[in-house]
Structure 1
Amino acid sequence: MEFLRQTEVIQWKDGEYQTIKENSVDDEYTYLFIDYLPPRKFSTYPIDLKDFAVGYCLGEGLIKDYSDIESITVDGTNLLISTKLSHDPEEDLEQDGIVQERKGNCEHACVCRLLEYQGVNSDNAGGIRSELKTIERNDSDLKINATQIIEDMEHLTDEAKIWQKTAGVHVAQLKYKDNIIIREDVSRHVAVDKVIGAAAKEGYDFSQCYVSYSGRMPADMLIKVIRVGIPIIISNAAPASSGIDVARAGNITMIGFVRDNRFTVFTAPERVNFEE
């Protein structure tokens, strides 16, 4: 199902104008209810939401492996996620004045009550993931050819079906050997979460994966790939200086400005074969 909306608009071009119908993305708010933590709110393109939930929990450090998730329940655009790990519900919920509802052996927080709370905003502007106490170096031996970087970005553009119709989403692509996963979303963070989650469900070795996507590369995006162990991140856009610092500390290969048959390697260039 495509969440698209058509609107009648007036298009001006070269001194002439006409009435046409334009596609736009029908984005929705999505809430993640992870164990008993306060809900987390995101603006999303509401497909592949289970992939998003898995990728978000991995990138946020709430789980170490896909097997840590016990269940994911989708209720519209609300996602209820139970994990095997112990996340203290009472401290987080009481801090925000949210009362936990217990029914028999079920300790799920009352969804209706929690929906009244705006939730923890997503990190689209550098929020929750913007700090990482320790950064472990990524010593993956993965290498990529220079020509492959260009080809991957072209493939990303060719397969961005919703972007082609609306120009209103970001697209992310994760490659593992000959396998490619592509997801789209109004948020670049959520798009990357979706490909990470889908790859985790398939059991891919993240140390041999790399991600190409549309959008800037700030610190919180680099922290996401560091947490899951992805060694290479590629974008058609620019990095932020915070992203460069984190990439350098984590030994992540950061490649930006992939366009017009060129690119720029900002960190860990040893993973790029410039001759091929």
Structure 2
Amino acid sequence: MKLLNEMNVIQWKNGESKTIKEHTVNDEYTYLFIDYLPPRKFTTYPTDLEDFAIGYCLGEGLIKDYSDISSIELDGTNILITTKLNHDPEEDLEQEGIVQERKGNCEHACVCRLLEYQGVNSDNAGGIRSELKTIEPNMSDLKIDATQIIKDIEHLTDEAKIWQETAGVHVAQLKYKDKIIIREDVSRHVAVDKVIGAAAKEGYDFSQCYISYSGRMPADMLIKVIRVGIPIIISNAAPATSGIDVAQAGNITVIGFVRDNRFTVYTSPERVNLEN
């Protein structure tokens, strides 16, 4: 599968134009089939798809641990996952507050709602599980030095090879002790799913991990982090108010606007050593 495309483009600079060769990233539809649930459709940069699938299941609360997955099969960009929990569509209807009744004309109406739901549930933000009814505060004792935060974003940029070629992807970096995992994708959500999935396969202790990535931090992104138990997330962009509210409830540390040797700590600042 060809992942980068080269094309002739016109570049305008300082009042002059010229034809140059430029690379663009090839994105593909990826379908995720989990047990008996309706398929989920994503636009991805189709590498590290197994990592994505594992991270997605963890971040969406479909599994509690990597060991809950019985099998993963890749068929092109289709991913088939069997879990030990045997999820079925009724779970998703319950999550949406849709009660499927089987009496008279109501059965037909509920089937129509199910079909409507199937058409909209698949997205890069996580779909129907993008809210938390209960939040367990993260009690991790992990701390990070202020100077390390700057270094992490610099490292993220230096290692973002596809971004350097195309400027068409997001990049996520998960750090655990002296180990680093980096993944890229056209979706910031999928990039984060990929590093979470890769770390789960390695058996990393998420309470001692943190993520740096390129992208905004709304609630649906931070919910992934809360669910898996990661205490710190760092970005060169800003959190949304919804993200701050969720982060405060989950007691995770949100650090944004990391650029030009500065950053902003929005929540749980006790995990940042501001003296170093």
Question: 1:213 touches 1:234 (CA, 8 Å); kept in 2?
Answer: yes
Q: Secondary structure at the match of 2:38?
A: coil
Q: What does residue 63 of structure 1 align with? A: 63
Cα shift readout 1:70-115 (whole Å, capped 9, x = no counterpart)? 1110001000000001312477699667xxxxxxxxxxxxxxxx9x
Q: 1: distance between equivalents of 2:111 and 2:80?
A: 19
Q: What does residue 46 of structure 2 align with? A: 46
Q: Which amino acid aligns with 2:137?
A: R
Alpha-carbon shift at residue 21 of structure 1 (Å): 1.1
Q: What does residue 185 of structure 1 align with? A: 185
Q: 1: distance between equivalents of 2:3 and 2:227?
A: 31
1:15-94 correspondence to structure 2 within 5 Å: 15-89=15-89
Gaps of 5+ in 2: 94-99, 101-109
Alpha-carbon shift at residue 118 of structure 1 (Å): 5.2
Question: 1:48 touches 1:194 (CA, 8 Å); kept in 2?
Answer: yes
Gaps of 5+ in 1: 98-113
Q: Which amino acid aligns with 2:249?
A: A
Alpha-carbon shift at residue 131 of structure 1 (Å): 1.1
Give the 3 Å change call, closer, same or farther, for CA 118–15 of structure 1 in structure 2. same
Alpha-carbon shift at residue 122 of structure 1 (Å): 1.2
Q: 1: distance between equivalents of 2:46 and 2:240?
A: 28
Alpha-carbon shift at residue 174 of structure 1 (Å): 0.1
How many residues are paired up? 259
Give the 3 Å change call, closer, same or farther, for CA 43–187 of structure 1 in structure 2. same
TM-score, normalising length: structure 2:
0.89
TM-score, normalising length: structure 1:
0.89
Q: 2: distance between equivalents of 1:45 and 1:139?
A: 34
Q: Which amino acid aligns with 1:231?
A: P
Question: 2:145 touches 2:272 (CA, 8 Å); kept in 1?
Answer: yes
Q: What does residue 256 of structure 2 align with? A: 256
Question: 1:233 touches 1:255 (CA, 8 Å); kept in 2?
Answer: yes
Q: Secondary structure at the match of 1:153?
A: helix
Q: 1: distance between equivalents of 2:29 and 2:146?
A: 38
Q: Secondary structure at the match of 1:121?
A: coil
Cα shift readout 1:182-233 (whole Å, capped 9, x = no counterpart)? 0000000000000000000000000000000000000001100000000000
Q: What does residue 270 of structure 2 align with? A: 270
Q: 1: distance between equivalents of 2:130 and 2:120?
A: 18
Q: Which amino acid aligns with 2:136?
A: E
Question: 2:124 touches 2:190 (CA, 8 Å); kept in 1?
Answer: no
Question: 2:36 touches 2:86 (CA, 8 Å); kept in 1?
Answer: no
Question: 2:52 touches 2:194 (CA, 8 Å); kept in 1?
Answer: yes
Q: 1: distance between equivalents of 2:239 and 2:146?
A: 19
Cα shift readout 1:244-263 (whole Å, capped 9, x = no counterpart)? 00000000000000000000
Larger deviation: 85-94 or 70-79? 85-94
Q: Which amino acid aligns with 1:153?
A: I
Q: 2: distance between equivalents of 1:269 and 1:12?
A: 44
Give the 3 Å change call, closer, same or farther, for CA 96–12 of structure 1 in structure 2. farther
RMSD: 2.1
Give the 3 Å change call, closer, same or farther, for CA 274–91 of structure 1 in structure 2. closer
